[in-house]
Amino acid sequence: MQRSSYRIVSYKIRHDYNVGEFLNSYKHLLQKAIDDIWDNMEWVEKKQRNYYVIKRGKRKIRKHYYVKRLIPIIPKSREFKRALRSQLLEDWNYASHYVDSAIKTAYSILNSWRRNYIKGKRGRNKPVVKRKFVRVKETLYRFRDGKITITIKPRQFYLEFDLSKAWFKNRIKGCDLGELILKESELIITFRKPLGEEKVSECIGWDLNLFSMDGFSPRYGWIRVDLRYLYHIHRVHEVKRRRVQSKASKKSSLKTIVSKHGEREKNRARDYIHKLTTQLSKMFPNAVHGFEDLDKQGMRNRSKKHNRDVAKQNWKQIIQYMSYKSRVKLVDPKNTSSTCPACGGRMMKLRGGQVVRCEKCGLTLDRQLCGAINIYLKMCGFPPSPSTFYRVVIRKMIPQWKVRMRGGRGVTTNGGKDDDMPPMNPRGGPNLMNPQGLHRLTKAYVS
């Protein structure tokens, strides 16, 4: 996702070849490979330290205890793989390279199962292949004169795809062709796009919130993108869902409507996020975008849990889509919204939490902006220090904010009186994003 010198892009082509039987056989082959590896796994008993938390007054105490767990060891020796290969080849009627592809896929499925099992996210059940797909390695297709030819059965059965007519042909000039994924009615083609020529000249730190996405970079200052429309999508569907759900409990035919609503909600959100990220990557073509690593993030705010869960899904999607279109760097989310970017002190919430102020130096900032600045500093590797803060944040933003420094009082805007100042919002409240006219979306505050 980050720190690679190329980017993977993929495109779909629809086809109407009759490959159902082939895909079915491959599915069985893959399952057989998984079964075989599974049956040869060793389970080793290990002691693991675990804990639970008890509250004593205001303090939380961890109580440790030990559990015995079975840890699987996946057979990886060359002899085992060779035996597996020859066994799978016995009743395989297509090109033998598919057996290698199946073995590789089986290992990656089992490895990811094992990782999750150790984390406690998966049980001790064997993974089952449900989807019909084949990964086509580079040895199984030929790319010549804009045409991809895939071997299914040597000298008997080939598939041909003409890329010279595809809509994306101009986008893939100079790209290397990567792995193909064959499905029943489409072919997914991946390309490696070299990033060498793209110049990266600036970093933007982004703080994701329920209603807005706040960015900071010394060049653009505070960039605020309105996400209320995204919130609105979920609200509308929640109301609808609740209305149908109460009826659905009595009538089973309505249950499909409930799940349809969920689909539609997801599609609308996905569509919005795609447009949003495309626009952001066009607005800041040379930027590296920094986000919090959400997998490492505990729930920051336990209230309104449901809303935050939904929003977190969206945030993950925003980061994921952003990484397809731009460079993305993830930073440790620890204390990004509660640390003073200037001195490293603790930020206290003022006025219902929208504004925060440093206990130590008195710096007062909008909470979201504070998060964005901290993410920016983290992605550049700057620890909080007054001189860095002055250099990268204040000096560049004086013309925008008309910031003034006062002895011991820290930073306030001109309009602010001492400690109780309005959030540093350069041009008033954010605009509600208009889904049709996306150009209005990034009436973000860029100057």
d(CA 217, CA 223): 8
User: Which range touches Zn ion (CB under 5 A), out of 33-41, 172-180, 234-242, 352-360?
Assistant: 352-360
Q: How far is the CB of 378 from Zn ion (least distance, A)?
A: 16
- Say whether residue 310 binds Zn ion (CB under 5 A): no
Closer by beta carbon to Zn ion, 15 or else 409 = 409
The torsion angles phi and psi of 231, rounded to 5 degrees, stand at: -65, -40
**Of 205, 218, 345, 430, the one binding Zn ion by CB under 5 A:** 345
User: Which range touches Zn ion (CB under 5 A), out of 142-150, 210-218, 290-298, 354-362?
Assistant: 354-362
Judged by CB under 5 A, the number of residues near Zn ion is 8
Closer by beta carbon to Zn ion, 83 or else 343 = 343
- Say whether residue 373 binds Zn ion (CB under 5 A): no
410 - beta bridge partners? 406
User: Which range touches Zn ion (CB under 5 A), out of 97-105, 113-121, 234-242, 362-370?
Assistant: 362-370
Closer by beta carbon to Zn ion, 359 or else 420 = 359
Closer by beta carbon to Zn ion, 269 or else 356 = 356
Q: How far is the CB of 380 from Zn ion (least distance, A)?
A: 19
Q: How far is the CB of 345 from Zn ion (least distance, A)?
A: 4
Neighbours of 426 (CB within 10 A): 14
- CA distance from start to end of the chain: 30
- Say whether residue 8 binds Zn ion (CB under 5 A): no
Closer by beta carbon to Zn ion, 288 or else 373 = 373
Query: What is the 3-state secondary structure of the chain?
Result: CCCCCEEEEEEEEECCCCCHHHHHHHHHHHHHHHHHHHHCCEEEEEEEEEEEEEEECCEEEEEEEEEEEEEEECCCCHHHHHHHHHHHHCCCCCCCHHHHHHHHHHHHHHHHHHHHHHHCCCCCCCCCCCCCCEEECHHHEEEECCEEEEEEECCCEEEEEEHHHCCCHHHHCCCEEEEEEECCCEEEEEEEEECCCCCCCEEEEEEECCCEEEEEECCCEEEEEECHHHHHHHHHHHHHHHHHHHHHCCCHHHHHHHHHHHHHHHHHHHHHHHHHHHHHHHHCCCEEEEEECHHHCCCCCCCCHHHHHHHHHHHHHHHHHHHHHCEEEEECCCCCCCECCCCCCEEEEEHHHCEEEECCCCCEEEHHHHHHHHHHHHHHCCCCCHHHHHHHHHHHHHHHHCCEEECCCEEECCCCECCECCCCCCCCCCCCCCCCCHHHCCCCCCC
d(CA 342, CA 135): 51
User: Which range touches Zn ion (CB under 5 A), out of 3-11, 80-88, 136-144, 360-368?
Assistant: 360-368
Closer by beta carbon to Zn ion, 140 or else 363 = 363
Closer by beta carbon to Zn ion, 172 or else 403 = 403
User: Which range touches Zn ion (CB under 5 A), out of 62-70, 109-117, 271-279, 351-359?
Assistant: 351-359
Burial grade of 294 (CB within 10 A; 0-12, 13-18, 19 or more): middle
Q: How far is the CB of 290 from Zn ion (least distance, A)?
A: 21
User: Which range touches Zn ion (CB under 5 A), out of 192-200, 280-288, 323-331, 359-367?
Assistant: 359-367
Q: How far is the CB of 307 from Zn ion (least distance, A)?
A: 30
Residues 315-344 that bind Zn ion (CB under 5 A): 340, 342-343
Single-letter amino acid code for the residue at 93? N
Residues 120-179 that bind Zn ion (CB under 5 A): none
Closer by beta carbon to Zn ion, 261 or else 367 = 367
User: Which range touches Zn ion (CB under 5 A), out of 64-72, 94-102, 224-232, 356-364?
Assistant: 356-364
- Say whether residue 409 binds Zn ion (CB under 5 A): no
Closer by beta carbon to Zn ion, 269 or else 342 = 342
- Say whether residue 365 binds Zn ion (CB under 5 A): no
Closer by beta carbon to Zn ion, 276 or else 342 = 342
Longest alpha-carbon distance in the chain: 83
**Of 358, 379, 392, 424, the one binding Zn ion by CB under 5 A:** 358
Tell the residue number behind the tokens 């019909």, with chain if given.
132
Closer by beta carbon to Zn ion, 364 or else 368 = 364
- Say whether residue 361 binds Zn ion (CB under 5 A): yes
Tell the residue number behind the tokens 């397809």, with chain if given.
324
- Say whether residue 110 binds Zn ion (CB under 5 A): no
Q: How far is the CB of 340 from Zn ion (least distance, A)?
A: 3
Interacting residues toward Zn ion by CB under 5 A: 340, 342-343, 345, 358, 360-361, 363
